[in-house]
Amino acid sequence: MKRRRGLAAAAGGMVAGAIAAPAVAQSLPEVKWRLASSFGRGLDTIFGTSETLARYVADATDNRFQIQAFAADQIAPARMVLDAVQSGAVDCGQSPVNFYRGKEPALAFAAGVPFGLNARMQHAWWHFGGGVEIITAALAKFNIVGFPMGNSGTQMGGFFRKELNAMADLKGLRFRLAGFGADVLARFGALPQQIAAADVYPALEKGTIDGTEFVGPYDDEKLGFHKIAKYYYYPSWWEGSVMYHLVVNLDQWNKLPKAYQHILKNACEAANNWMLARYDAVNAPALHRMVADGAVLKPFPQAMMEGFYKAAHDIYDETAANSPTFKQALESYTGFRDTQLPWWQVGELSYDSFMVHMRTQR
């Protein structure tokens, strides 16, 4: 009994109090779902989060609700997970929904946009700033409901063969990047490239592209980009963080017993914490190793950052003029951001800046 209650608590402690695992085992049906991920097994933190979610759900239901996770391209292409879930080809999927901004531009805010929110702000906006209501309405158009199930935290700005000193250095630059960030770079003459993860290293090695972004130090180190393009820029201004979602076919969701719905939602929250904590743990040593192996850390020049910022907001205004849903999301998102930043400056930033300074004083 204690073991089962503990497992239920791991997937979201509130569930264990309301539904003890033995009661679940006796009264609820067996359910088996398939989950299509946008990521390969080699990305053990991102894809591992889908496996962690499945484990939490199984543990909390005595294995009566099972989710089998499939890597990208096993049962659905990486950037067509939402389509597969919408059609009912799979029950659910793991994907950042900004992949599908072509279908609905407002979905970009559910994952991450240029000069957007950091991981904690993103989670706060989702739950308490209007995000869940806006994105739920947007996803409903596709017969889908979504729940946050992970966040990468702050990412890196990617690898470049040459240093960047001014906007002129972007002209003709072939850089792997998608989303609104790609639109921003294009305004300064860059040539954004959309290349599948498996093809990025060969493209960089052959000179087909001049640079690439991916996630952060832990995943970037695995892919070895710094061995070809040594300048490693920061920060990833095109995404202050990236929130990943569990997207669920609405018909399948409605078929679930209420107990399973609660367990699944709480398991998503637990998986969200797992991914962010793991990235926080593994990124720091990976960055240290890459620098020791020849990567050269470089900040984007301040003048370039300010130019990117202005261009991003110009693009937002242009998009909002043609999309009422995007306009609603933009106003909610930026309003929340602008309210949060002064507090962040007083609290988190001042403390973190002091601690970083004192690290060098011991």
pLDDT of residue 27: 82
Does residue 276 lie in a domain region?
A: yes
- pLDDT band at residue 25 under the 50/70/90 scheme: low
Does residue 350 lie in a domain region?
A: no
The Cα–Cα gap between 307 and 247 comes to 35
pLDDT of residue 15: 43
Residue 11 above 70 pLDDT? no
Does residue 65 lie in a domain region?
A: yes
130-154, pLDDT tens digit by residue?
999 999 999 999 999 999 999 999 9
Residue 6 above 70 pLDDT? no
What CATH number is associated with residue 111? 3.40.190.170
Beta strand 31-37 with 65-70 is: parallel
Q: What percent of the chain has pLDDT over 90?
A: 89
183-214, pLDDT tens digit by residue?
999 999 999 998 877 788 999 999 999 999 99
Residue 111 above 80 pLDDT? yes
pLDDT of residue 160: 97
pLDDT of residue 23: 54
Q: pTM of the prediction?
A: 0.90
Mean pLDDT of the chain: 93
Residue 10 above 70 pLDDT? no
Does residue 23 lie in a domain region?
A: yes
pLDDT of residue 195: 85
- pLDDT band at residue 287 under the 50/70/90 scheme: very high
pLDDT of residue 197: 75
Residue 217 above 90 pLDDT? yes
Does residue 71 lie in a domain region?
A: yes
pLDDT of residue 133: 98
249-266, pLDDT tens digit by residue?
999 999 999 999 999 999
- pLDDT band at residue 361 under the 50/70/90 scheme: confident
| Range(s) of the domain holding residue 10 | 2-151+241-281
Does residue 331 lie in a domain region?
A: no
313-358, pLDDT tens digit by residue?
999 999 999 999 999 999 999 999 999 999 999 999 999 999 999 9
Q: What is the CA radius of gyration of the chain?
A: 21
Does residue 265 lie in a domain region?
A: yes
The Cα–Cα gap between 81 and 90 comes to 9
pLDDT of residue 21: 52
159-177, pLDDT tens digit by residue?
999 999 999 999 999 999 9
Residue 2 above 50 pLDDT? no
Does residue 256 lie in a domain region?
A: yes
pLDDT of residue 20: 46
Count up the domains in the chain and report the number. 1
Residue 89 above 70 pLDDT? yes
